[in-house]
Amino acid sequence: MTAELVFPPGFRWGVSTSAYQIEGAVAEGGRGPSTWDTFCTEPGKILNGDTGAVACDHYHRYAEDVALMRELGVDTYRFSFSWPRIQPSGRGPAVAAGLDFYDRLIDTLLGAGIQPAPTLYHWDTPQALEDGGGWLSRDITDRFAEYAGILGARFADRVPLWITINEPMVLTLMGYSLGAHAPGKELLFDALPVAHHQLLAHGRAVQALRAAGATQIGIASNHAPTWPASDSAEDKEAAALYDNLINWLFADPILLGEYPNGMGDAMPGPVADDLAVISTPLDFFGINHYAPVSVGAATGQADTAATDGVLLPPGLPFEPRTLTGYPTTDFGWPVVPDAFGEILRIFKERYGDRLPPIYITENGCAINDEPVDGVVDDQRRISYLDGYLRSLRAAMDDGIDVRGYFQWSLMDNFEWAAGYSQRFGLVHVDFETQERTPKASYHWMRELIAQSRQAPGRK
């Protein structure tokens, strides 16, 4: 399946994870409680009552996991720092044990020939900050800048690639607007300040990292094409509003220095001054992509299958619809490889010369195959990756500057509100024994990476 699928010299191959989804050890090393620790204790919030308390036990098994990456052949590993492991209350001096853990991880990666690409924040807010207003409060941008400065001062000499925030849209929508993720607030459009404060925190973190000597800095923002459910004017209007809220609200301020369609009027001020910080130039823009979304005008019959089982409240001016006619992952997400290239072309058309080089900071699928006689033969994941990577390569052939691809995820992990029900990993994890088993897709990806590096014209 990998025939003729090769990428240019210098293209980065990586895998992605996040702290709360894999680390475990939530009470070790002076780590403070996070919003996800709290959310997981609330009855009915997480499928099967699962928590990230142990997860993949990466905190203790990181050396084993780095060895799996080395064998896979990746040159870069995208992980996230746990904010409450560094600053248990979200402010003040860092905890030595927290910094020491990431020292060990980073040095082990470098010793294996793998470059670290850490994300500062992947949704695990220190609970103490949430108690003080969380991302609804402007004060959190001061705290985040301080946190970024601590990490930059400690690790900038060894980390070549930095990511500030992961998917600010998801925290805004699922965490504060709909309440399906931590911290579980249901504010609907009153959650918009969360978007602004994350964007401002991103800009301030870029500045703090640069002051500490960091060089290559970007963000990991999730984006996908929004398709009108029909050609009707009502469905097109609803899809355009949804597109602005889900895509361009989180990219325009960074890349253009402005909010789309006057949305800045709904943001806490001083908006103009903040936008100057938010649009601090980046070295790359990270795109997380999974599937397109079909959107139509509201009918009063919300389709929870289109929103990962989350029931949208009545009265919204748009309605995501189930996209039919495509195979789906085990999470129910449509498999549409062409949409991958489409969103990249949309970005190039929308931003032109304002668009820095792109990294695909996440892409992957939930395929829940279990071992049979010690083998996980996840052929549907292989088919997914083959199709999506070919779409990516075609977009690159059309002149879109993509510098690397990070597959989500290295290993099966805690999938937020879905608990341990969805398996996104190239490596199967038995959550009872913590045994790691590389899947067929792991071996396929290893072959693809090796083949791409051996292609004519590569060093």
Name the catalytic one among 362, 370, 432, 435.
362
Residues 6+ apart with CB under 8 A from 249: 169, 195, 259, 260, 263
Residue 405 marked ligand-binding: no
- The question of whether 167 is a catalytic residue gets the answer yes
d(CA 128, CA 107): 30
Name the catalytic one among 23, 130, 167, 319.
167
Residue 166 marked ligand-binding: yes
Which residue spans within 167-265 are E strands per DSSP?
216-222, 226-228
Residues 6+ apart with CB under 8 A from 95: 29, 30, 31, 85, 86, 87, 88
Residue 122 marked ligand-binding: yes
Residues 6+ apart with CB under 8 A from 372: none
Helices (H), 295-405: 337-351, 379-397
Q: At what angle do helices 58-72 and 96-111 cross, to 10 degrees?
A: 20
- If 0-12 CB within 10 Å is exposed, 13-18 middle and 19+ buried, where does residue 303 land? middle
Residue 20 marked ligand-binding: no
Contact criterion met (CB below 8 Å) for 222 and 163: no
Q: Which run of H or of E encompasses 302?
A: none
- Residue 352 DSSP code: G
* Other CB atoms within 10 Å distance of the CB of residue 308: 15
d(CA 410, CA 247): 26
* Other CB atoms within 10 Å distance of the CB of residue 98: 23
Residue 416 marked ligand-binding: yes
Contact criterion met (CB below 8 Å) for 412 and 442: no
- The question of whether 362 is a catalytic residue gets the answer yes
Contact criterion met (CB below 8 Å) for 129 and 140: yes
d(CA 45, CA 50): 9
For residue 142, give both structure tokens: 């001061």
d(CA 458, CA 445): 18
Residue 415 marked ligand-binding: yes
Q: For residue 115, what are the CA distances in angstroms to 258, 431, 437? A: 34, 27, 23
Residue 146 marked ligand-binding: no
d(CA 140, CA 123): 13
For residue 177, give both structure tokens: 């607007």
**Of 51, 32, 33, residue with least CA distance to 431:** 51
Q: Tell me the binding residues for substrate.
A: 21, 122, 166, 290, 408, 415-416
Q: Name the binding residues.
A: 21, 122, 166, 290, 408, 415-416
| Residues labelled catalytic | 167, 362
